[in-house]
Amino acid sequence: MDSDRRGQWLRGVLDICVLALLRERESYGYQLAQALDAAGVGPIQGGTLYPVLLRLQRTGLVTARWREGSAGPARKYYRLTDDGHAALRQGGSDWLTFVAPVNDIVTKGVAG
């Protein structure tokens, strides 16, 4: 996949992906990056992920707190706020509404 194209797509969906992962459980940045990679989104660098987490925190969609690590340094854990849950519901709905016709168009174009 073209890395420039992937980067453009990622910038459009990373916020909603992070919110969706945080709905499942509170997590720290590296854990989120691993989950995104495991889900097939691809490797996410800290320089991409941490500004997203900071923006989500500043806009009140997530909270953060430091927690001691069991076998290492303290980690900053992120958790969805009520506003974050609402943003996920709305953003997820918006995404699904947007991606369905795009998928149809591209599928027809590739198949034809």
**pTM of the model as a whole:** 0.89
What is the residue type of 66?
W
Name 66's bridge partners.
Answer: 76
CATH of the domain at 51: 1.10.10.10
Q: List the chain pLDDT tens, one digit each, 112 residues.
A: 677 888 888 888 999 999 999 999 999 999 999 999 999 998 999 899 999 999 999 999 999 999 987 888 899 999 999 999 999 999 999 999 999 999 999 999 988 7
**Domains of the chain: total:** 1
Cα separation, 90 vs 53, in Å, equals 19
Expressed as residue numbers, the domain containing 58 is 3-111
Contact 61, 84 (CB under 8 A): yes
pLDDT score of 91: 96
